[in-house]
Every structure is written in structure tokens, then in C-alpha cells.
Structure 1
Amino acid sequence: MAQFSLSAQLRTRTELRDGQGAPLPAGAKPAVFTSQRSRLTAGYAMPGLKLGLTVQDVRVWGQDASTINRVTTADNNGFMLHEAWAEIDIVDSLQLKVGRQELVYDDSRLLGNLDWLQQGRRHDAALLKFRHTGWVLHLGGAFNQNKENSSGTVYSPVTGYPANTNGSQQYKSLEFLYVQKKSLSFLFLADQFSKYTTDSTNVKKWQSSAYNRMTTGLFYSWKKRITLAAYYQFGHTPAGENLSAALLSAAYLHPFGTRFTAEAGIDYTTGGKAVSAFDPLYGTPHKFWGAMDYFYVASGFGNKGLQDYYLKGKYKPSAKWSVGLDVHQFFSAASYNFGTEADLTASVQLHKFVGLEGGYSHFMSTDYLTSPGVKNVANARSNSNWAYLSLNIKPELFSK
């Protein structure tokens, strides 16, 4: 029997940004705005075939003039196709999924859908999926082009829209192998970036050849209590420099009864210069390195690498309510102090399909963080704030 489902999502988020992403200079005024994600998701399943389609619109309230039928600025057009994929059964244990899709693996550190960002992240890719006797094996690939060319494979990344968590350009092609058995998984990922030359006016001329970067490593999770990860990155950076970098992570979560959990952990990424700076690829950094997105998200921090020592607590008095408090102490890979961040969040499920979430974050930065070689903020304030309130309405419209 075929099954069809249709769901919707309307998620608004009002933010107060008073130093989110990087400290503001003294005298700068905070920003306040409301963004909105509007999604419609359809799914179809029958024996041997699944289809998925998600269309979405992401805008800031007031972005469009209220009396015209187009956006005020073409670059702000937020209507797009987020997902459009088909998955077919080749045999019982082997499927092929092809089209625009999210790639989410392990804890989403290196491959995630970046759901916190209103527009999220997706890939135009093909994915071969194999599962047998507890083994999971995925082989994926993507090859990007700007248009239907008559000759050549020159790819010009879209400028102004960083494609990964470290601000790099969009990849020209990508391949990965993922193998998982019980608590342990292995990832090998290669992504290629178009080579380029720069003319006298600093304009890039893209070439058909590409630099190759590779990332490989292991992820281990035991009953969601102990989490360990180690990854090594090598090859070339998107700018063509020789690369040797690493990421190490360890965390332990302990439940205290049924209502409270506490977690302690450390993340370490190499850095100091571009050739040793680890790039967290296409993950969800907001989940790991502080809610104010100072590292691997909003603005660069000089390829300094990162040490993050953190404590997290979560109290859930009922199935509807939860409150969390996270504290991070950040250092560069060379142990220079970046600062301290505290994140307080609370959420309540108002209805089966309606959730309300809010949070407040405070960052106490150091002079080193705002120095020219890191964030490069002159006359920076030492204390920064960020707050948000989000309403998430996600009903199931139809299922048959």
C-alpha cells in the first residue's frame, strides 16, 4: 500500500544581537529582528520507492515592501527548494537515494543539516545505502556545475555565501564513505575546490582543475553517555596550501535521576596557521561551540584552532518543560585565552505541534580574541549578549 504524508512548519525567531558572532565596538547599537522559516514537506512511500519534497521560504519580517509582489532586494529572495529526492530499492539491503537531500551522520559535527540556521543545509548528491546484519555502509557523491555547459567543467562558486562551517567556498565535487557497526563509525570524506588565478584587480578567474582535501576518522558513542571522536584532515586547503590538521573530542554525560543530566567535555581542533587549521566541514557548529557562534560560524578567528572545555546541565521537570545551562571556556590551540561563554535556554511544548523556546547568552571576551590576528575588532567591548525567542509550529497536515 502506498502512503502519502504532508506536513508544514512555521518557525519564527526574534533575536537581540549585542555582540553575537563577534564583540561589537564600543558605542555600537544592538540589532533586533525577527526571521521566519515557512516549510511545506511532502513524502510518498510505496514498496521499492520513497519520495521526499520540501519547499521553504526564509525571510526577515519587513524585508519586503508590503505593496509589491517581489522582494525588495533580489539577493534576499528566500524562497527555495530545500529537498527533492527519490530513494529506490535495488535489492532488499541496498538502496539508491538521489537528488537534493540533507546529509546527517553521527552527532552532526562534520555532516549535519544545520537546522538551527533558518535555511538549513542540503546537498545535491547521490547516495548508495547498504545495511546488513548490523552493518551500515553509505557511499555518497556530488558534482557541482553552474549551468548546462557546451564544453568544459569550470565551476564558479557563488560569492558571498560560504558553503561550510569555516567560511570556505562551495565545493566542486564531494565523495564520502561511511561505515557504522553498533557504537563505532568510520568516515572518509574528500571534497574538491576549484583552482583559480587572481588578476591585478583581485578578481578570481576559476579553472577546471581542483584542489583535493580529505578528512577521515572515527566516532564512538556508548549509550549516549560516552562520546569520543578523532579526525585527521590532509591534502590541500581550498586555497591550495598543503594541509595537516586534526580534531579530537571527548564527552561524558551522567544522569542524576530521571529529571537532571550533566555533561562534561573537551573539544580540540588544531590551528595556528591555515595549513594546520581543521575545517569542521558541513556540520552543525551551533550545537557544539557555544550558542553565540563565535567559532566556525559567523566570523573567522584567524585559523587559531580551538580548545573548548565545557559543562552542560539540563533539567526536565516534565515531558513538556526543559531548562539548560551550558558554560564554555575557550582557548586557541596554542592555549591563548579567547574568553568564557554562558548559555541559558528554556523550552516548553505548548501543544502537540507547537513549541516555544527562548535563550540568553553572555560572552566575556579577552583582548586576545579581539586582536588584529583573531577577530580584529578595534575598541571592542569585553562583554557581549545575545537573546532569542522562537515559536515553532509544525503540524502533520495529512497522512494516509
Structure 2
Amino acid sequence: MSLFGYNAANAQFTASGQFRPRTEFRDGYSTLQKKDAETAAFTSQRTRLNVGFTGYRFRFFVAVQDVRVWGQDASTINRTTTAENNGIQLHEAWGEIILNDTVSKIQNLSLKIGRQEISYDDQKVIGGLDWLQQARYHDAVVLKFANKGWTADFGAAFNQNKELLEGTIYNGVPPVTAGYTAGTNGLGTNYKSLEYAYLARKFYFGDISFLFLSDNFNKYSNVTSGTPPVVTKVNEQGIWTRNTTGFYYNINPTRKLKLEGSFYHQFGHDKNGRSLSSDLASLTATAQVGRKLFLAPGIDYLSGNDGTKAVTATSTNNQFDPLYGTPHKFWGNMDYFYASSGFGSQGLLNYFLKTKYNLKDNLTLFADLHAFEAANTLSDGAGGTQNSYLGTELDLKMSYNFTKMVNIEAGYSYMKATNSMASAQVKNVVNANLSPQWAYVMVNIKPNFLNKK
């Protein structure tokens, strides 16, 4: 029996979900707090519904999610007096057209159109940022090619605030939803447009990839008016373009040793129109010790600016921005560096040792140790310099698979920060608590609604 000219048995419908509440205790998470600050405690929750359908030469997928903090909405809402914190969001909604037919020798040639997660390699510069409850998406078009170990993706996006009758000015700051500001990488603004090319090749010993990405930001000027003077940001026609290019590799010299690394260079102009020249370099070696233990020492370098030199509109910006990556995965679970809160522009050196121990088939223990240092000179504010060492962080985590669809995760992090971390050039906190802590417990239920078992 056929349906619109193809066998209906080839069609495939999927339906899955996710329920992920997370309780956190914050005593200096992401930024240092003052010594007399009280510990914060709350529970956030992501609830997601995923529906997909695969038919003849097309795929379709929608993911709707609700992200909120327990108690942020009144249990009984008076619509005339109370504004509900609407956390419902269309996380993904895309269609993919299969361009090669069933007799083609090409493994895949397709065009993926719509709201989608874009993630490559280790997610250091392009990732879904799944740790954040709202995660990250892009409204984009991606041409995808795969054949005989080769992968080539070409993507583009173009953002606007609304339908327009003239012009293409984009303010980059859509209305705030459920308390989350524009962007998930600390920029505070969305790009106006984006273009990228990604090329990867798999070998028997690992894989290597290359990325070139341009994200463009709407030009603006600051206009001063009124008494007392008020500075207003006025968007203008035109864009500032930031280019990022580099490579990633993941190779296995032996069965129990993996080397993973990357190098990226940024040039062009940043979101404020300043000339840009910055770098990222990373190297990790993961060794299996015995049957259950894995050790992974490594180092990350992100270039920064000289803190003793004044920043002007004409000076070059040497701070590397890790684009749309997943900082929580790399630079400490407490998210002090390059997450939603800024930490300064002097760059970062991250020396780390990560360990994983498979205690049981369904129970894994993690312990990561980070030593953080500014990659450039820090000023003491009085014409001299200060110690570039920022702090040491210990991250402990336990992951337990209660069933195939239910996971329980818990973690505790402690940092021993320095006065340099609290200084005006980094976190800018007076009388800071230099021993911040953070703990969480998270339940992750991911049901497959069509699984008969």
C-alpha cells in the first residue's frame, strides 16, 4: 500500500520527552559574593516534548519546552493584576529536505531549515549548551553533506525583530522571556547574521575538522542628550563582522590513550566595532588506567588584553570569545569564566586534571581539579600589576542511571579564590568571600513515549 507515492511502512514517527528539575545551593556561583551574603537556594525545571516524523525524502522535528523556577508564578493568577512569567518556548522546529534519492551513492545530502541546535566536535566553540535549562538554538539554514567519512556543513542565519516595511536594522535584544536575557554566551546581544562552513574527516585513528564562521552585529552609535546627560544606544545600518577560523582533532595513538585539541583565531571586529585579534588553544590527553579509571590532564589558553593599557575605541581587542560553545563543560562547573556573567578581558589559562571512575555499570564518579590564571597582565589600579593567579577549583560529581530513562546527578564544587579574582579587573567585588561553594541535585527523566517496553 502506498501513501503519496511511497511505502507507508517507511514513514517513522517519534515522540519523546524530558523532565529535568535541578535544585541548586549557591554561595558564590559564577561570581564572588560579599562575605555577609546569604546562600541562595532554588529549584529550576525544564520540561520538554519532542515530536519527529521521517517520510519520503524529508524529516520534521519540533521540541517545545517550558523553563521556570519553582514558585516564580502565582498558583492562582488574576489576569487583571498579575503578569505570568511565561517560560514556554519553541526550542526546535525544523524541516529537513533530503536532496539525494535512494539510489544515490552519496550517504547524505540535505537541507535543514528552521530553529535547530547546532553542535560540532567537543562543543568548545559551537554547542547546544545543554547544561543551561533553556539551552541554545539558532534560526538557520544548513546544507549538510556526508559521504565515506567526509562531512561538510554550510550554514547561514539572518535575524530580525519583526516584519519590516523598510531597512534591516536589528537591535539584537529581543524581549526578555522568563528572566533570560539575549544570548547565552555573555554577549548580551544576538548576532544579526551568521555564516559558517564546517569540514570534517574521519580516519581509523580519529577525526579532524575545520571551521570558518562569521557572526555579524548591527552597527550602533552612542548619543548623549538631556540634563543630566543620558547616553542612548542608537542602532544604524551596517554590520561589524567577527571571523573565527581554526581546527579540532581527536586521535587515538593507542587503544587506551586519546589526544584531543583545537586551535582557533578570531579577527575582524567585535560587537562594539573594535578591531579584533585573538586566539584559543587547547590540549587534553585522556588515559585509561585499568578497567574503570580515566585520567585527563590538559590546558586551555584563551588570549586576553593587557590590563595595564587603556582600552579605547581604536585599540585592538585581544580577548577571545568562545562563540556559542559550552563553557560549563570545560572551565569549571561553577561557571566563573566565559559563562552568563563576565569576568574581565585578560584572557584565561586553565590547567586541569579530570578523572572519571566507573564504580558500577550504572554509577560513575567524577573529580576535576582546575587551576585558573589570567592569560595577561592584571593592573592593581595604582600603576602597578598584581598576581595573575585567580584561583583553584575542585568539582565533584556523581551520575547514577536509576533506569535507562531515569538519571540522578549530584555535584559539589569549591573554589579557593585569590584577591586578584575579586579585583576590579576581574570580578570587581569588595570584601569578597574568597571560598565560594556550590552544590546541586538533578533528576533527568527522558521517556520514549512509543517504546512498548
TM-score using structure 1 length: 0.97
Among 199, 203, 211, the alignment partner of 1:179 is: 199
Matched residue type, 2:277: S
The equivalent residue for 1:6 is 15
Distance 1:69 1:90 in 2: 51
The equivalent residue for 2:426 is 374
Structure with greater contact order relative to length (CA < 8 Å, sep ≥ 6): 1
Matched-pair identity in %: 47
The equivalent residue for 1:327 is 369
What's the C-alpha RMSD, in Å, of the aligned pairs?
1.6
Matched residue type, 2:435: N
Among 56, 62, 76, the alignment partner of 2:71 is: 62
Q: Which runs of 5+ in 2 are unaligned?
A: 1-9, 225-229, 307-315, 378-387
Change (3 A) 1:327 1:115: same
Change (3 A) 1:30 1:7: same
Secondary structure in structure 2 of the residue aligned to 1:317: strand
1:269–1:305 Cα contact (<8 Å) kept: yes
Secondary structure in structure 2 of the residue aligned to 1:368: helix
The equivalent residue for 1:249 is 282
The equivalent residue for 2:183 is 163
The equivalent residue for 1:89 is 98
2:172–2:182 Cα contact (<8 Å) kept: no
Distance 2:115 2:361 in 1: 34
Matched residue type, 1:197: S
Flag as ranges the 4+ runs of structure 1 deviating above 3 A.
69-74
2:173–2:188 Cα contact (<8 Å) kept: no
Distance 1:282 1:73 in 2: 31
Secondary structure in structure 2 of the residue aligned to 1:280: coil
Among 233, 239, 244, the alignment partner of 1:204 is: 233
Alpha-carbon displacement from aligned partner over 1:170-229 (angstroms, at most 9, x marks no partner): 000000000001111000000000011112222211112110000000100014810010
Are 2:148 and 1:136 aligned?
Answer: no
2:52–2:59 Cα contact (<8 Å) kept: yes
Distance 1:167 1:290 in 2: 20
How many angstroms does 1:374 deviate by?
Answer: 1.1
Secondary structure in structure 2 of the residue aligned to 1:278: coil
Q: Which runs of 5+ in 1 are unaligned?
A: none
Matched residue type, 1:228: G
Among 342, 349, 358, the alignment partner of 1:307 is: 349
Are 2:136 and 1:121 aligned?
Answer: yes
The equivalent residue for 2:291 is 258
Distance 1:126 1:86 in 2: 10
Are 2:59 and 1:53 aligned?
Answer: no
Secondary structure in structure 2 of the residue aligned to 1:369: helix
The equivalent residue for 1:231 is 264
Distance 2:432 2:158 in 1: 42
The equivalent residue for 2:34 is 25
1:82–1:101 Cα contact (<8 Å) kept: yes
How many angstroms does 1:306 deviate by?
Answer: 0.2
Matched residue type, 2:317: V
1:339–1:366 Cα contact (<8 Å) kept: yes
How many angstroms does 1:72 deviate by?
Answer: 5.2
Distance 1:382 1:110 in 2: 30
Worse-matched range after superposition: 36-45 or 297-306: 297-306
